[in-house]
Each structure stands twice: as C-alpha cells, then as structure tokens.
Amino acid sequence: MNDVILKATNLKTYFFTRRGVVKAVDGVDFELRRGECLCLVGESGCGKTVTALSILGLVDSPPGRIVDGKVMYNNLDLVKCSPKQLRQIRGKEIAMVFQEAQSALNPVLTVGDQVMEQIRVHLPIERREARNKALSLLEEMGVPSAERVMNSYPHQLSGGMKQRALIAMSLTCDPQILIADEPTTAVDVTIKAQILDIFRELKAKSQMSLIFITHDLAVVAEIGDRAVVIYGGKNVESAPVSEIIANPKHPYTAGLIECLPDISQTTDRLTSIPGNTPNPIALPQGCSFHPRCPKAMEICSQRQPPQITISQEHEVSCHLYQ
Amino acid sequence: MNKTASHELLQIRNLKKYYPVTTGLLSQHIGDIKAVDGVSFHIGEREILGLVGESGCGKSTLGRTILRLEEPTGGQILYSGTDIARLGKRELRQLRREMQIILQDPDASLDPRMTVGDSICEPLVIHDIGDEKERMERVADLMEQVGLEAGQASHHPHEFSGGQKQRVGIARALAINPKLIIADEPVSALDVSIQAQILNLMMDIQEKFGLAYLFIAHDLSVIKHMAHSVAVMYLGKIVELASKQEMFENPLHPYTEALLSAVPSITPGAKARIPLGGDVPSPLNPPPGCHFHPRCHRVLPICDQKEPELLEISQGHFVACHLHTPDSH
C-alpha cells in the first residue's frame, strides 16, 4: 500500500522579475503515496500554490521557470515532459481544483457546458453522453437539482455550489491524483464541512491520491494523512498528521498550531507568531524563519538548517535538533 | 428621552432592513429581500457581542444598518437611549463620533492614494478635532498603540502587509475615541499567524479603552475566543442568543448545534458532526414557518406552519425554535 505515486525532489521554481528573482519554491521535497491525502501547509506567499502549478507544468513562463528538481510520476519526470505529454496527463491523470471557485469558472458559459467541455477534451464521447456523465458527476457531488445547476451561469450559484461544480470537473476522467488548492478557504463552516466530506469520500471510495493545499491546520487535522509544512519556499517539517499536531518540532509549526483559536478549548490569550510573512523577493539569510522565531540562535541567521530525521517518518529543517 | 438603562450602550429593537425587488419597465415592486428582519438585542458598555452566521444571513447588513450606513426600514436603534434611526444628519454626525467600524478587507477600506497617516487622521478632520499639530501627535500615538511605527505614517497602504493594513484600520477606528466598534469580519482575510496578532490587539484595546464591540464573524472559534455573549443569525433573524459559555456548552437551536459541530478542530476525538445539507435559502423567497426547517435535523410538523418566536428559555438564553418553550425547561 505504501507505493509512491508522485515524488518531488528539490523542486525549485523561480520567477525572474524586473525587481529581482522571486524564489517562490526553493527546494520542496515530498512524496505522495497511493490513496493517501498529503497536505501542503503554509501561509500566503510560502510557495504552496506554485508547487502545485509546477507539478502540472502550469507556471507562466516567462517570468517563471522550474530551475531545478524533479517531479517523478510513474517513472516520468514531469519537469522534463513536453507540453504535449503534459496535456495528456493534466486533467486526465493529475487533476486540479483551483482556489477561488468564482475566478476559476468562466462567467459566460453555463456550468453544464464547462463540465462537458472538460469531459469531451479527454474522452471521445458524444455530446449527449457527456451531458449525462456531467449530470451524474454533479449529483455525486451532492448538488441538489443538478439539472438546474447545469443550465445556470456561475454567478447564479452559491460559493459552495461553484466549488462542487469545480470538483466535479476535476473528476471527469477519474484522475489518479487530485490536487486541491485551498478548496475550503473563503467558504462558510457548514460548506467547509460538506466539502471535506466530499474529499473524504473520494479517498475512501476510489483510492484517489490527494494533495490538499491549505493554511488551516484544523482542516489538516480533519482530512490529512501526512503533512508538509512550507515556509519561504522550503520544507520546514514533514510528518504524519497526528504526529505533527501532537509533537511539532519546528518552531513555525508549533506557532501555527498555537495561534489557532480552538473551539474545544478556552484560552485567554492567543500565542501569536510575531512579525509578518516574509517577502519572497528578499528572504532572510540563513533559516528564513529566524527573524520571527522565538528560539532563534546565532547560527540561524548564518546558515540554512539541514534536514534532520527525527523518526522514520518525521523530518524537520531546524538547527535546534542538530 | 429614556436614559434609565445607562449601562446599556446600544439597544436594538425589532430592526428591519428590506431591499425592494422590482421588475420590468415600470419597476413594479414584486417583493422584498428581508436582509434584517426584526432583530432585537443589546450591547452593554465594555461588552463584546459576537454575531455569527453563514454568508448571506444579513450579519454585515445588520452592522451597517446600526451605523445608519444603510437606512433602516423599521425598528429602533437606541444608543444610550437616543434613537439613531430618527436622527437628522447633524445629530447623526455627532453620534457617529461614538461608534466606528472596522471592515473585513483592509485593502478595500484604505484609500490607496492616501498615506496611512492621512487615513488615520481623516476622522479627526471630519469631526474637526484638534489643530494640525495635535492631530499629528494623535496619529503618531495611535500608530504606536496598534503596534506600528509612527515613522510609517507617510507610507502608502501598498507598502504594508495585510496584517499591518488591518492595524491601520483599527487605528483609524480608534482615532476619535469611540465607545462602540462594529468589527465586520476583521480577521477573516488574514493569514493564521497574523490573525492571532490582530485578535490579541483587539482584546488589548478593548480593555484599555473600555470599548464595546459588535464582533461579526463566520468563524465560531474566533467568536468563542473574543465574545462575552453570542447571537446566531439565520436569514435575517436571530435564532439564538446567550452568554458565550451557555451558547457553547448548551446550544439549543438545531442550527447552532450544526454550526458548532461543523467547525474543524485540531483536537483529536472531536464530537460527531451534525450534517447540514444544502445552502442558505434565498432571502427573497424564504421557506414558510421556521426559515431553517428544510435543513433542520430535528424538524417537527409545526415547523413549516408557524414561525417560532425568540423566547427566553432560561436566564439570558433566548432561542427561536419550536423544540424549546419556557415550559419545556
């Protein structure tokens, strides 16, 4: 069961802008196993979305470029694939649910047309058949009166409906891997719970492998099997979810957990991480978290921390554990 | 004017805000969107009332109507006994010195072409407080209060991060020493690590300046952290109102129960989820009876017939649900 379906090694995606080189992703490593949900966790600007786009070869070039690293999928290095090869894989074998359902849908096409378009790009089937498939996909997503939704334009639907239509679109070809970029951000708690249920069911039913991108550790705790915490474009910690939440090693991970107001606990004051998320164009020297780190030492501003193995599944990049 | 209840800063009675819906060439009136439909509550001095509900339930409209940024359709807004809903322009301006709003999106609420110092100073100019020098000092003081450097006053909003912009928004709200601040989802657009900073800051200034907040949010864990009492809103109406402790330990309305159970928690072994199907129905054509009955997991035959009233079930705990009557408790 532990076979790896996707493995990113030392992935580096830089953007070459007039104001300088933005090292959006600067050495991210992870492996995705069949049937598991891997969470990429981090705050805005940490490089988690660019990581996903790099996997699918969707980074705008120029200014962006994958400058180093490998993404191995079934003995195929996606970084080296031709655009044509990538088009075969993208949407069919590796699909993505984009952030912000509102902007990911075309406002002048009905939802039905958009789902059908997705189907017919990849499968050689008739329009009517595609329509039936689209309808059943929407129904599977728990869309009430799917027939009406098919004929609606995106602006006529609620946020939760749009999100579900997007998920339906990504599932048209039964992909091996589904990448979901912040699908639960900016939706209500009730819709969030429904969407998490959909993903949970997908994982259980079809053994799909999920990459779930989020900044919300409470969501990670609900759905993830393993998590990779990213800061300043680099891995800072990776471990099974239960381990990372019960026993976070990196001060950033610990901070992310502590600063979350938790509904099942009462605290007078939240522990906050001081300072701001770093500017990716001018990342601090050494460990990029050191200016905000409560446990920073002298070495932290000078040298990048190495990756240290805590236990078999638990790795952390921090000078504290050397 | 009735000023007997002096400890009550703000009292809302049966507040309504309808938006007429018209059609055709002659703008025929075909109905109303009842964004706020008969809401009553009060906020005491130094009290934080958390207002929670799904998007589209009318919570932002309620906040804006209290400040008369939207004209109320009916009801009373009593601020220290004065009915805001009836005030003329000049009197309203006077009263607005006492209440301010902090908006959700700090990007949209700051003028990109004004320096943040000017933005913070603007309420002082509008209300004609102090001379140039005093205002400058006040701005510097305010910026330090909210954790910014006074030297940053000449910077423009784009030079700040999201959290810093929200600090500017807070400084601006504090500029004229208000007593009541309406905070409309002040942290939902921020990163988690920044969210905690802003929540702590809002707690600190609340204590320091003795402020009352109407704290609007959809995130129950944030509400639980901030509020003294909590009101749950659904389709323009308050369905449950209680002290924080009571609300979180003993929720009575099925909607509150479902909301509470839907919050993802980092603590393992969290309680079973109560599924809440579907979306919030259209406020133009709400379901008959109790607006919540089509999504309710404890629905009774009466629920689609008769609308439940908001009743006090136990001391300070109000709920609008047919399952709960004062006799049944």
How many angstroms away from the CA of B151 is the closest CA of chain A? 17
Question: Which CATH code for domain A4-93+175-321?
Answer: 3.40.50.300
The shortest CB-CB distance from B192 to any of A191, A216, A242 is to A216
Task: In whole angstroms, give the CA distance from residue B201 to residue B198.
Answer: 5
pTM: 0.86
| Rounded average pLDDT over B103-126 | 91
From A57, A80, A58, A65, select the one nearest A26 (Cα to Cα).
A65
Given a cut of 50, whether residue B264 has pLDDT beyond it is: yes
Restricting to B residues 134-163, those with a Cβ less than 8 Å away from any Cβ of A are 161-163
pLDDT value for B163? 87
From B59, B33, B44, B34, select the one nearest B11 (Cα to Cα).
B44
With the CA atoms of A241, A246, A251 and A252 taken in that order, what torsion angle do they form, in degrees rounded to the nearest 10? 40
Mean pLDDT of chain A: 89
Region of residue B180 (left: phi > 0; alpha: psi -120 to 50; beta: else): beta
CATH architecture entry for B8-98+178-263+272-328: 3-Layer(aba) Sandwich (3.40)
Task: In whole angstroms, give the CA distance from residue B9 to residue B179.
Answer: 8
Tally helices (H) and strands (E) across chain B: 10, 12
What phi, psi does A23 have (nearest 5°)? -90, 80
Given a cut of 50, whether residue A14 has pLDDT beyond it is: yes
Task: In whole angstroms, give the CA distance from residue A274 to residue B194.
Answer: 8
pLDDT value for A102? 79
Task: In whole angstroms, give the CA distance from residue B191 to residue A221.
Answer: 18
Is B284's Cβ below 8 Å from some Cβ in A? no
**Is B265 in Cβ contact with A221 (below 8 Å)?**
yes
What residues does A239 pair with on adjacent strands?
A227
| Rounded average pLDDT over B264-280 | 72
pLDDT value for A121? 86
pLDDT value for A1? 45
| Rounded average pLDDT over B298-312 | 92
Is B321's Cβ below 8 Å from some Cβ in A? no
CA B183-B184-B189 angle, 5° bins: 110
**Is B193 in Cβ contact with A255 (below 8 Å)?**
yes
Given a cut of 80, whether residue B273 has pLDDT beyond it is: no
| Rounded average pLDDT over B292-304 | 91
Task: In whole angstroms, give the CA distance from residue A249 to residue A261.
Answer: 20
pLDDT value for B2? 40
Given a cut of 60, whether residue B4 has pLDDT beyond it is: no
Quick one: how far is CA B183 from the chain centroid? 6
Task: In whole angstroms, give the CA distance from residue B49 to residue B69.
Answer: 20
| Rounded average pLDDT over A65-72 | 92
State the helix-helix crossing angle for A189-206 and A159-170, rounded to 10 degrees: 20
pLDDT value for B174? 94
| Rounded average pLDDT over A141-149 | 84
**Is A256 in Cβ contact with B192 (below 8 Å)?**
yes
Do B57 and B291 touch, CB atoms closer than 8 A? Answer: no
Given a cut of 60, whether residue B270 has pLDDT beyond it is: no
**Is A263 in Cβ contact with B191 (below 8 Å)?**
no
Count the Cβ atoms, other than its own, within 10 Å of residue A268.
6
Residue with tokens 């009290």: B47
**Is A191 in Cβ contact with B196 (below 8 Å)?**
no
When pLDDT is cut at 50, 70 and 90, the band that residue B120 belongs to is very high
Between B223 and B327, residue with greater pLDDT: B223
**Is B192 in Cβ contact with A264 (below 8 Å)?**
no
Task: In whole angstroms, give the CA distance from residue B247 to residue B230.
Answer: 7
Buried b / exposed e over B288-314, threshold 16 CB at 10 Å, is ebbbbbbbbeebeeebeeeebebeebe
Is B245's Cβ below 8 Å from some Cβ in A? no
**Is B225 in Cβ contact with A277 (below 8 Å)?**
no
**Is A260 in Cβ contact with B191 (below 8 Å)?**
no
pLDDT value for A88? 87
Given a cut of 80, whether residue B76 has pLDDT beyond it is: yes
Task: In whole angstroms, give the CA distance from residue B236 to residue B57.
Answer: 6
Is B269's Cβ below 8 Å from some Cβ in A? no
Contacts of A269 in chain B (CB under 8 A): 200, 203
Between B231 and B219, residue with greater pLDDT: B231
pLDDT value for B29? 87
Task: In whole angstroms, give the CA distance from residue A183 to residue A77.
Answer: 27
pLDDT value for B1? 39
pLDDT value for B205? 93
A164-195 pLDDT, tens per residue? 889 999 988 889 999 999 888 777 888 888 88
Percentage, residues of chain A above pLDDT 90: 49
Mean pLDDT of chain B: 89
Domain boundaries, chain B: 8-98+178-263+272-328
When pLDDT is cut at 50, 70 and 90, the band that residue B3 belongs to is very low
Q: How many residues does chain B have?
A: 329
A22-54 pLDDT, tens per residue? 889 999 999 999 999 999 998 888 888 899 999
Domain boundaries, chain A: 4-93+175-321, 107-173
When pLDDT is cut at 50, 70 and 90, the band that residue B284 belongs to is confident
- Chain B residue with the nearest C-alpha to that of A156: B282
Task: In whole angstroms, give the CA distance from residue A186 to residue A98.
Answer: 13
A76-108 pLDDT, tens per residue? 999 998 989 998 898 889 999 988 777 889 999
Quick one: how far is CA B289 from the chain centroid? 26
**Is A272 in Cβ contact with B200 (below 8 Å)?**
yes
Contacts of B192 in chain A (CB under 8 A): 43, 215-217, 256, 259-260
How many angstroms away from the CA of B130 is the closest CA of chain A? 33
When pLDDT is cut at 50, 70 and 90, the band that residue B6 belongs to is very low
**Is B263 in Cβ contact with A219 (below 8 Å)?**
no
Which residue, among A264, A271, A279, would best test binding to B if mutated, counting the most B CBs under 10 Å from its CB?
Answer: A264
From A318, A34, A287, A308, select the one nearest A177 (Cα to Cα).
A34
Contacts of B197 in chain A (CB under 8 A): 272-274
When pLDDT is cut at 50, 70 and 90, the band that residue A244 belongs to is very high
Given a cut of 60, whether residue A68 has pLDDT beyond it is: yes
